[in-house]
Structure 1
């Protein structure tokens, strides 16, 4: 859905910030990058930032 919004010019980029996603190991940065690539059909996806938990 985010890639479709970017392709339609509704957003330029998107980011993710989720503490449980990383601390509970639901996914990794590599997995997010792969999923964004698969959603867009290539390496030109619009995922631009990942906010990581730093003080837990």
Structure 2
């Protein structure tokens, strides 16, 4: 998940739908690669997560 702040200063926790799709995969090895890649990020990068899912 990530955090964003609106123009009034409120912080919102967000989870990109694609991240949920990748993490909910029946392929446990792929989900693990995606999770490990996500844990190294300061900002969520979907292209990098998809590359990890594809084992690139």
**How high is the TM-score relative to the length of structure 2?**
0.31
More helix by share: 2
